Amino acid sequence: MPAGGDASEPALQVEALSHRFGRRLALDSVSLTLRPGQFTVLLGQNGAGKTTLFSLVTRLYANQGGSIRVFGRELRRHPSEALSRIGAVFQQRTLDLDLSVAQNLLYHAALHGLPKRLARQRLGAELARIGLAERADDKARELSGGQLRRVEIARALLHRPRLLLCDEATVGLDIDSRRAILEHLRRLVAEESLALLWATHLVDEVVPGNRVVILHQGRVLADGELTALLAESGQADIGALFSALTRGAPAAAAAG
């Protein structure tokens, strides 16, 4: 069985997840389920709790309340099995700028126990898929912001996870770089049945067919396919729906 696990199982199940930093409640009983082949947008303003959720799912923090399962593996009880099924791209860039692109990827592959020969095969394939095969020996600092992000995505996929988490992965990028990254990831979701959780504060990164989870002040206000949410709420577009929900307008009826 590949690292991703059984495709019939939910890729990610978060149930009643709560987390505090001191007296501040960062997440308040958050629940959501992701399935293979699903591109889910976690939409929320800065401070909504998106990064906290990602930090809990990737075990940077231990969850204080609720449960997290990755392809059926409970994160607290089986952390290694659960984490081996996850690839992650965080908001802060994590490449070593003084290493080459290939060295960055090989280091990640070694952490996941991949034999060097297999790792080299996979990094070549992933870099080719993102159009950067010719940059493998260049130092990471020589790449543009959009290229660095593409390398981080390639790195996250080296160990063949079936669940990919991307936290504000297009922050600071120009519109063409943002579009290229999103097109690449939507293609991967469709062709390889990945489950992807895409956290963003940018409403223009949500398109029809996407599932949308709106997170605000640590609470889920809406969860569903974009077109259905708009029809239920009577709002014209995702920007209007987001504004109405986060301002406490009647569109809150779309939450579910």
Taking only the tens place, the pLDDT of each residue in 2-49 is: 444 555 789 999 999 999 999 999 999 999 999 999 999 999 999 999
**Residues 112 and 79 grouped into a single domain:** no
- Residue 85: C-alpha distances to residues 7, 149, 254 (Å): 12, 21, 32
Tokens of 238: 């995702």
The pLDDT mean for the chain works out to 91
Residues 112, 232 share a domain: no
Closest alpha carbon to 149 in 111, 93, 204: 93
Residue 90 lies in a domain: no
Asked if pLDDT for residue 254 goes beyond 50, the answer is: no
CA distance 242 to 245: 5
The predicted-structure confidence for 47-74, as pLDDT tens digits, reads as follows 999 999 999 999 999 888 899 999 999 9
Global pTM value:
0.90
Task: Count CA atoms within 13 Å of residue 147 on its CB side.
Answer: 18
Residue 116 has pLDDT above 50, yes or no: yes
The 10 Å Cβ neighbour count of residue 112 is 15
State which residues form the domain around 129.
95-160
Residue 243 is encoded by which pair of tokens? Answer: 């504004």
Res 6: pLDDT: 55
Tokens representing 89 are 């791209």
| Residue with the two structure tokens 């579910």 | 256
- With 0-12 / 13-18 / 19 or more C-beta atoms within 10 angstroms meaning exposed / middle / buried, residue 98 is exposed
Which residue, 145, 160, 175, sits at the end of a domain? 160
Q: Cα–Cα distances in Å, from 58 out to 54, 167, 206?
A: 6, 12, 24
Distance in angstroms (rounded) separating the CA atoms of residues 193 and 129: 16
- Judge if 198 and 137 occupy the same domain: no
In this structure, what CATH number is given to the domain that contains residue 250?
3.40.50.300
Per DSSP, helices labelled H in 43-115 are: 50-57, 79-83, 101-111
Q: Return the sign of the alpha-carbon dihedral for residues 250, 246, 176, 131.
A: negative
- What CA–CA distances, in Å, run from 235 to 46, 160, 201, 225? 23, 39, 19, 14
For residues 130 and 74, state if they share a domain.
no
